[in-house]
Amino acid sequence: MRTGLLRYLLAGLLSLNPITIIEANELPIIANSSATISLEQEFQLGRTWARMLRGQAPEYGDPLVVNYLNGLLWQLAASSQLQDHRLDLIVLDNPNLNAFAVPGGVVGINSGLLLGAKDEPELASVIAHELAHLSQRHYAQQLEESRRNTPLVLAGILASILLSSVDTQAGIAGISSTMAAGQQAGLNFSRRNEQEADRIGMLNLVSSGFDPFAMPRMFSRIQRSSRFLGQKPPEFLLTHPVSESRIADAENRARQLPSPVYKPQKFDFQLIKKRIEVFYANNLKQLIKGYQESATDDPLSGYGLVIALIKAGKYQQASTTLNDLPSNLRQHLYVRLTEAELALASGETKQAVQQLDGLSKLYPDSYPVDQLYAKALRADNQFKKSAQILTKLSQQHPANSYIWYELSETRGQAGDTLGVHEARTEYFLLTGNTSKALRQIEFALREKNLSSGDIARLEERRREAESIRDEIKNAF
């Protein structure tokens, strides 16, 4: 972590004067008037902020989890009132229940949100609520009120997110929606903002095919989770207080809406949740025992057992358990990818490559398939082919820092020095480290036998990197 930057941000947070919360009847009408910040400015600010977040908070790299959440996000966004559909999903490696949406289409989801939700509709209800804050530009409304303190507000907001993402025991509240700071930063959404996000989020939830009652159920679950003594309340509650009246209001709204005939993608949510349960398990041995006891009656626990056994290095047991899963579950893409993961983990590299080659033909342009296929090819010393797949992924997902990191490593093993510098440049820019990005460009320009096109491309990237550096300085 760049402690100097974090100290600066904390200084901004601690020096913030409390900002008066806007009353409902004082909210300016932003959508039809000249706002302090335009949609394009929001987009640029959001991307700049995202670079800083990626550089400070660990991301959750499991391609299956990222792919699942990305699909759910876009399903909900299609029914939203967003004027700008340029979305950028960041999945954080954090077991705390939280999600937030930053102006400019940056949506952050803690992996722990899946642990807190019972099912996919409940998970979707939180994301729908966050997207409603974005579509209604609640951040712009708050910024209109606090425009004179904007630099400090932004610094405080970022600092609080970083603290909650990096140190979950920190004494400063993290944020959970649309750059809304906690009480320490003195910036909260008004009651009207929350009611509007609940109402619009629920309408979009139904339009996306989900049960409207999922939202009050999730609110109740979040509220109950805060009642355990000696535990810090979920981050979501720090800026989204959930009262009995709010839950009752949500239930009343849900009764007025039709319950759609929702046909979920069978097993998706529960399979992904099992992966996260294993990832965050404090006692793997105990988790394995629990899965073994319930696997006979619950095939999904059987899948969790496979993942846990792989993590424990018990590959033969994992293989036997996987083969015992019901045939319909074994045909699920996530389970087939897990079979390839097992082959890789146990050293059966050729087998993994063969399995993933077949899946890549069945599921072309599948992010998790391509990601794991590139990993298997790299393990099989097929570096050039692995780099080709990662290059394609970097073009399809240019804001995915994980891909650029893997691409730089793989290009190095393939002997592509110029490609290493270019991939590292993109990685450092995505994580807000512009000084290292500019250094990589300088290294690249020193390479021998560069074509005129190579030089022109690198010079253009240097100008863009300098511009990004200036944007970060100006914004924070």
90 or 97: which carries more pLDDT confidence? 90
- Domain match, 281 and 211 both: no
Last residue of a domain, one of 347, 368, 402: 347
Last residue of a domain, one of 255, 281, 304: 255
Taking 70 as the threshold, does the pLDDT of residue 57 lie above it? yes
Residue 80 falls within a domain, yes or no?
Answer: yes
Return the pLDDT at 162.
Answer: 55
- Domain match, 122 and 176 both: yes
* Of 467, 461, 472, nearest in space to 422 by CA: 461
Return the pLDDT at 146.
Answer: 55
- Domain match, 192 and 46 both: yes
Structural domain boundaries, residue 80 = 3-255
Taking 70 as the threshold, does the pLDDT of residue 121 lie above it? yes
What's the pTM? Answer: 0.84
Last residue of a domain, one of 255, 282, 297: 255
Return the pLDDT at 165.
Answer: 55
Q: How many CB atoms lie within 10 A of CB 8?
A: 15
Return the pLDDT at 36.
Answer: 62
Taking 70 as the threshold, does the pLDDT of residue 100 lie above it? yes
Return the pLDDT at 242.
Answer: 54
What angle (nearest 5°) sits at the alpha carbon of residue 233, between those of residues 135 and 90?
Answer: 40
- pLDDT grade for 141, boundaries at 50, 70 and 90: low
Return the pLDDT at 375.
Answer: 98
> Looking at beta carbons, which pairs linking 370-378 to residues 24 or more positions away fall under 8 Å?
371/63, 371/403, 372/63, 372/337, 372/340, 372/341, 372/344, 374/406, 374/410, 375/344, 375/406, 376/340, 376/344, 376/349, 376/352, 377/353, 378/410, 378/413
CA-to-CA distance for 428 and 405, rounded, in angstroms? 9
Residue 468 falls within a domain, yes or no?
Answer: no
Residue 212 falls within a domain, yes or no?
Answer: yes
Return the pLDDT at 345.
Answer: 98
Taking 60 as the threshold, does the pLDDT of residue 391 lie above it? yes
Residue 404 falls within a domain, yes or no?
Answer: no
pLDDT, mean of residues 33-58:
80
* Burial tier of 125 (Cβ tally within 10 Å: 0-12, 13-18, 19+): buried
196-238 confidence digits (pLDDT tens):
888 999 999 999 999 999 999 998 887 776 554 345 544 444 4
Return the pLDDT at 27.
Answer: 28
- Domain match, 25 and 139 both: yes
Residue 365 falls within a domain, yes or no?
Answer: no
80 or 476: which carries more pLDDT confidence? 80
pLDDT, mean of residues 143-152:
53
The number of distinct structural domains making up the chain is: 2
- Domain match, 250 and 276 both: no
Return the pLDDT at 172.
Answer: 28
Q: How far is CA 342 from the centre of its chain?
A: 25
Instruction: Specify the range with the lowest mean pLDDT, choosing from 98-112, 168-182, 228-242, 253-267.
Output: 168-182
- Domain match, 251 and 168 both: yes
- pLDDT grade for 396, boundaries at 50, 70 and 90: very high
Residue 369 falls within a domain, yes or no?
Answer: no
Q: Are 87 and 77 in contact (CB under 8 A)?
A: yes
Average predicted confidence (pLDDT) for the chain:
82
- Domain match, 169 and 24 both: yes
Inter-CA distances, 337 with 264, 271, 352, 398, Å: 20, 12, 9, 23
CA-to-CA distance for 304 and 274, rounded, in angstroms? 5
- Domain match, 321 and 207 both: no
Taking 90 as the threshold, does the pLDDT of residue 340 lie above it? yes
Residue 181 falls within a domain, yes or no?
Answer: yes
Q: H-helix or E-strand containing 114?
A: helix 112-116
314 or 8: which carries more pLDDT confidence? 314
- pLDDT grade for 43, boundaries at 50, 70 and 90: confident
Return the pLDDT at 230.
Answer: 44
- Domain match, 278 and 249 both: no
Return the pLDDT at 30.
Answer: 33
What angle (nearest 5°) sits at the alpha carbon of residue 41, between those of residues 40 and 45?
Answer: 120
Return the pLDDT at 221.
Answer: 85
Q: Is 240 left (phi over 0), alpha (psi -120 to 50) or beta?
A: beta
pLDDT, mean of residues 25-53:
65
Residue 85 falls within a domain, yes or no?
Answer: yes
- Domain match, 134 and 237 both: yes
- pLDDT grade for 19, boundaries at 50, 70 and 90: very low
- Domain match, 206 and 340 both: no
pLDDT, mean of residues 8-20:
33
- pLDDT grade for 424, boundaries at 50, 70 and 90: very high
341-381 confidence digits (pLDDT tens):
999 999 999 999 999 999 999 999 999 999 999 999 999 99
> Looking at beta carbons, which pairs linking 449-452 to residues 24 or more positions away fall under 8 Å?
450/418
Half-sphere exposure of 191 (CA within 13 A, CB side): 7
- Domain match, 48 and 143 both: yes
